[in-house]
Structure 1
Amino acid sequence: MKKYSLFLVCLVFSVVAMAQKPVATFSEKVFDFGKINEKDGSVTHVFEFTNKGNSPLVVSRVQTSCGCTTPSWTKEPVEPGKKGSITVTFDVRNKTIFEKQIMVYTNDTAEPIMLVIKGEVIPVSKQAEAASKK
C-alpha cells in the first residue's frame, strides 16, 4: 500500500510540474515579402507570439540560416497571456529568390521553433531595364 501511495504522489507531482510550463504560440510562422526592389534596401518583419502557458516564457536565443538575416527579440521573460516578438531584418543586396529559416530557442520545448521568411529580390539592373522600356 505504501508503494502505491508513493507512486500516486509522484505521479500527481509530475503531472502538476508538466502543466506548469510556457507555450509559445506564433500568429504566423511563414512570411512572404513578395517582390522586393533591391534599391529599396533591407526589409524587416515582426513575428509576434503569445505565451499561452502558465509560467514565464524565455527566448534564450534566435539563430538564422545566413548572415544576411539579423534577428532581435524580446529579452525579458514573457508572462502568461502576454505577447513578445521576434524582429527579422533581411539584407536584400545581391539576392534573388530566397527562403530563410529562423530558429527560435525557448524554455517551451527542447526543439527550436522554425520561422521562415521568403520572397524575390528584383535586382537594380532589372529595374533599370524595366524603366527604360517605358
Structure 2
Amino acid sequence: MKTFGTLLVVLFISFSINAQEFKFEKETIDYGKVTKGSDGDKVFVFTNIGDQPLIISRIQSSCGCTVPKKPEAPIMPGKKGEIKVSYDTKRLGGFSKSITIFSNAKNARKVIKIKGLVTKELSLEKEKSLLSDTKR
C-alpha cells in the first residue's frame, strides 16, 4: 500500500511539473455601449506560461450569438496566442456571455467572458460623422 501511495505522489508531482498554464491579458472584455449592427469582433490575448506546447482542443460559447475561434496551431512556451470572439450586435439589450476553453493546461477548462450593451441609438461619433457628411 505504501508503494502505491508513493507512486501516486510521484505521478502527481511529475504531472504538475509538466502541466501547461496560460495567462490572459484580460479574462473579461467589456464592449461597453455599442450600436446595433456595429463590429462585434474582439480578441482575447494570452501567453503560454508553461514549459510545453499549449493545445486548445475546443472552445464553447454559452449561446449561438457568440462565435469563438480557437488557434489551430499549438502555442509554444513563452509565446502569445489569440482567441477571436464575434458577438452578434444585431441583438438589442445587455449581454453577458461565457466562453469555455478546453485545453491540455493544468486546469483543463478555463472560462472567459464578454459583456456589454447593444443600443439602437447612434453614438456621438457616428452622429458627428453623419452631420459632417450632410454639410458637404
If the length of structure 2 is used for normalisation, what is the TM-score? 0.78
Q: Counterpart in 2 of 1:119?
A: 116
**Sequence identity percentage:** 32
1:30 aligns with 2:37: no
Could you list the per-position Cα deviations for residues 93-126 of structure 1 after superposition, in whole angstroms to 9, with x for gaps in the alignment?
A: 1321111111111111455211111111112xx4
Match of 1:43 among 35, 40, 45: 40
Unaligned 5+ runs, structure 1 = none
Partner secondary structure for residue 18 of structure 1? helix
> Counterpart amino acid of 2:94?
I
Q: Counterpart in 2 of 1:83?
A: 80
Measure, in 2, the Cα distance between the counterparts of 1:77 and 1:30: 23
Measure, in 2, the Cα distance between the counterparts of 1:10 and 1:116: 36
Q: Counterpart in 1 of 2:101?
A: 104
Q: Counterpart in 1 of 2:67?
A: 70
Q: Counterpart in 1 of 2:15?
A: 17
Bigger mean CA offset, 25-34 vs 107-116: 107-116
> Counterpart amino acid of 2:18?
Q
Q: Counterpart in 1 of 2:91?
A: 94
Measure, in 2, the Cα distance between the counterparts of 1:75 and 1:6: 39
> Counterpart amino acid of 1:103?
T
Instruction: State whether residues 19 and 106 of structure 2, in contact with CA within 8 Å, keep that contact through their aligned partners in structure 1.
Output: no
Q: How many residues align?
A: 124
Q: Are residues 21 and 97 of structure 1, via their aligned partners in 2, closer, same or farther at CA, if it must alter by over 3 Å?
A: same
Q: Are residues 96 and 15 of structure 1, via their aligned partners in 2, closer, same or farther at CA, if it must alter by over 3 Å?
A: same
Instruction: State whether residues 16 and 106 of structure 2, in contact with CA within 8 Å, keep that contact through their aligned partners in structure 1.
Output: no
Deviation at 1:84, TM superposition (A): 0.8
> Counterpart amino acid of 2:100?
M
Measure, in 1, the Cα distance between the counterparts of 2:15 and 2:24: 24
Unaligned 5+ runs, structure 2 = 128-136
Measure, in 1, the Cα distance between the counterparts of 2:111 and 2:20: 17
